[in-house]
Amino acid sequence: MNADWVMVIITGIYVIATIFICLANIKAANASKEQLREMQKQFAETNRPVVELEFHYSRRTWYIARFVNRGNLSAQHVKINLDQEFIDSLPEESMRKELERIKGKECIIGAGQHYDLYIGSNKLRGNPNMKPLTGTIEYESQVKTYQSDLFVDLEHYMTFFSSTTDEEDLLKTMKKIGIKQILSAQSANEEDSE
């Protein structure tokens, strides 16, 4: 009978050890599931469109609100909703009409690409009635919707990127070449006349 009790005790120890092993395995499986969920979340955040707003001052004439997709996927069904108060504060009627015309319209911004909204010419600078650019931008990718609020006080905006076009650069080069040719032709004429 002594041997029977020893077997019962050993079996009991095995049962208790098995229960602890099962509990430890359940805990490890839950931790692995949580880690997998976190990795999937990080992957989704890394592989999605990210549309950001920046301002450009093009050709030393036009102020542009540029919506840049810095993400890895195209932004689908992009809707740029500017508040009416901002649109009404623009000094140029043609710009106000264009912003009114695009209300409710959608576009696509590919990865690494941008969409430009012209918001004014040099008349925009120093406009005392200018309201901050406010509104929202909404876009989708892979059945998920993203939305960001827009708020930029143009009066206190630190950086405007100024850019020239390829045509302007070509015109400058042509002018330089033309001046050099005129000077060398004039120099040749002076030598011939001596």
Confidence category of residue 185, pLDDT binned at 50, 70, 90: low
Burial class (CB within 10 angstroms; exposed 0-12, middle 13-18, buried 19+) of 193 = exposed
Contacts of 103 (CB under 8 A, 6+ apart): 81
pLDDT in tens, 29-70: 999 999 999 988 888 778 889 999 888 877 777 888 899 999
pTM, full prediction = 0.64
Confidence of residue 8 (pLDDT cuts 50, 70, 90): confident
* Alpha carbons 50 and 28: distance in angstroms, whole number: 35
Question: Which one-letter DSSP state was computed for residue 94?
Answer: H
Q: What is the pLDDT of residue 189?
A: 66
Decide: 132 and 157 in contact? Cβ < 8 Å.
Answer: no
* pLDDT tens digits, 94-149: 888 888 888 889 999 999 999 998 888 877 777 777 888 889 999 998 888 999 99
Q: How far, in Å, CA of 7 to CA of 17, rounded? A: 15
Q: How far apart are CA 107 and CA 7, in angstroms?
A: 76
**pLDDT average, residue stretch 161-186:** 66
